[in-house]
Amino acid sequence: MNNYLLQVKDVSKYFGRRLIFKNLNFEISNSGILGVSGDNGSGKSTLVKIIAGISSPSSGIIVHNDDGKEIVQEKLHNYIGFVSPYLVLYEEFSAYENLSFFSNIRGIKLDRERADFLLEKLLLFQRKDDYVKTYSSGMKQRLKFIFALIHSPSLVILDEPTSNLDSKGKDTVYQIIENESKSNIIIIASNEQTDLNLCKREINLQDFKIK
């Protein structure tokens, strides 16, 4: 059972004098899907980057806790999977080479059985040895899901998860999200209603812009 707890406490973010969001408080534990919605430019990507430890809040704190123990910032990447349009893949590597490279960065050996399972589920197994530069934008987006899930994270953060996906790709990703949410925490940042329909709870960042 996943005993993961994420707490967002009085988090605010400014860029210079421009308020992005203010006094944001919520927590989610164990499993399920949380949606982060809002208009374009409302701060969805900013918030998930703060949760993932990629950016810092202007004030407030983010607490990640696994089985009763707080996770230090330096170890956070071991517990989190992240998908976004702005993450970069190595185009001159194959899918397998990319997965092996990033596993090495994490300090773990590539689990080929899990890699094959995810490649099959995300309809990429037949192309696993092809250079990523030959992939379509939708195939690259599905490959990012494999990167996010390969190390079996407790928290999966999805920023615009269905970007560049056709209807078949979306259905495949939605099935993966539903399955993962049974045992892990999923956060979806999106303004696509079909993405947000998966979420059991939703936080609209338009509600956190009062100066």
Q: What pLDDT sits at residue 142?
A: 95
What is the count of structural domains for the chain? Answer: 1
Q: How far apart are the C-alpha atoms of 49 and 157, rounded to whole Å?
A: 9
Burial of 12 (0-12, 13-18, 19+ CB in 10 A): middle
Q: What is the CATH number of the domain that holds 87?
A: 3.40.50.300
In sequence order, the β-bridge partners of residue 64 are 6
Residue type, 149: L
pLDDT recorded at residue 107: 82
Residue 83: burial class (beta carbons within 10 Å; 0-12, 13-18, 19+) = buried
For tokens 């349009």, the residue is 85
Instruction: Give the domain range for residue 127.
Output: 4-208
| pTM recorded for the entire structure | 0.94
pLDDT along the chain (211 residues), means of 10: 91 94 95 95 95 96 95 92 90 94 86 94 95 95 95 95 93 95 96 95 92 54
What's the confidence (pLDDT) of residue 1?
61
In this prediction, residue 6 carries a pLDDT of 97
